[in-house]
Structure 1
Amino acid sequence: MNNSSKNFSENEYIDSVFSKKIYLIILLLSTLWVLLIFLAPFLMTTGGTGEKISSFIYLFFSKVCHQDDGRSFHLFGHILGVCSRCVWIYTGFFIGISSYPLIKKINNVRIPSIWYLIIPVLILGADVLADVTGIFPNTFVSRSVTGFLIGFVLVYFLYPGFLKFFYEVNHFLKNKLST
């Protein structure tokens, strides 16, 4: 085994203190991301500097979402920072990461069976495909449910990956600095 890196089996856990730091950073970033989505329409109503900040938030989110008016929820007469499906992807992720410690230990690096991800992806794909082919139009409800499912489930695949990645980077840097 290489001294500069630690390989994990599927049954290993990472240091609890380190895991808490990574968990809190991801929770904080997720919270900020969701707050910005809802802050954009509010700031647009304030005019002046608030409106400029809102425009920047919309521009920022335009890189990850189409922001189609007809497929977006509205607040204060303006669309949210992202479309309805994206709102629920990010909200699902936020709820998933918030509830993660209630379901799984935050220092556990095991990921669930890939089927827990494939099934929601297939459901979302079917919703999109049915809409694109004209079989039936998707709705705010179908976009919201499929978005939430994906966002919530992604936490259980992404968080352990982030935790492993940052642990290995931290371990590597400590070894480099100590030599």
Structure 2
Amino acid sequence: MLQKIKIYHLILIFVSLWNILIISPILTQSYIPTISEIVYSSLHHICHQYESRSIFLFGTKMAVCSRCWGIYFGFLIGTIAFPFLKKHLIYSKWYILCIAVVPILTDIFLDLSNIHESIIITKILSGFFFGILAAPLLVGTIDKAIYELLNNNKRRNLCTKNQTNSSRLYTVE
């Protein structure tokens, strides 16, 4: 049980650090522009970072667009809520991700068909909805996979050690 708690805490630390990185305008404003530039250029590979679709913090564009920020922030909230929800979660229900992506696809479709203009708030909310639903599913799956991997390695090492000890007992010299 202690090992599972440690795995969850490592995941939470990673998700928290990721969320801190995406608010790199604070780094720009705090006279650490080199780190900010590294963050912006690194995240450019996973987000378009268009100014018209981004949130500005202290007059500086965030490192990701508003929808990505909603996803990451929702994922952080979902990760924080995971320990309180895990008794009620079923990790094998991957259709939850299909449900979670519906608001994003609806927002994009309505914008492309000129029925409704996709604005910053709809992008943030649709991303947040996806992130908060995806987090418990993914965190639970990652937590379980790492826990099983570590336990299988321990069992394998124990079996190898026992086989080595037992083979010594039957060796005739």
What value does the CA root-mean-square deviation take over the aligned residues? 1.9
| Larger displacement relative to structure 2 (68-77 or 122-131) | 122-131
- Is residue 38 of structure 2 the alignment partner of residue 53 of structure 1? no
Note if contact 2:96-2:134 (Cα within 8 Å) is conserved in structure 1. no
User: Could you report, residue by residue, the CA deviation over 1:5-62 in whole angstroms, capped at 9, with x for unpaired residues?
Assistant: xxxxxxxxxxx21210111011111110111111x11222344xx1111000111211
Aligned residue for 1:43? 27
Cα offset for 1:151?
0.3
2:2 corresponds to 1:17: yes
For this pair of structures, how many residues does the alignment match? 159
Give the alignment of 1:127-166 within 5 angstroms.
127-166=107-146
Higher RCO, 1 or 2 (CA under 8 Å, sep at least 6)?
1
| Distance in structure 2 (CA, Å) of the matches to 1:65 and 1:21 | 31
Shift of 1:121: 1.1
Aligned residues of 2:86 and 2:136 also touching (Cα < 8 A) = no
Q: Which has the larger radius of gyration?
A: 2
Which consecutive unaligned segments of at least 5 residues does structure 2 have?
161-173
Is this contact kept in 2: 1:109–1:161, CA < 8 A?
A: no
Higher helix share: 2
- Match for residue 89 of structure 1? 71
Paired residue type of 2:29: T
Aligned to 1:98: 80
Normalising by structure 2, we get a TM-score of 0.83
TM-score (norm 1): 0.80
Q: Give unpaired runs (5+ residues) of structure 1.
A: 1-15
Question: Identity of aligned pairs, percent?
Answer: 32
Aligned to 1:34: 19
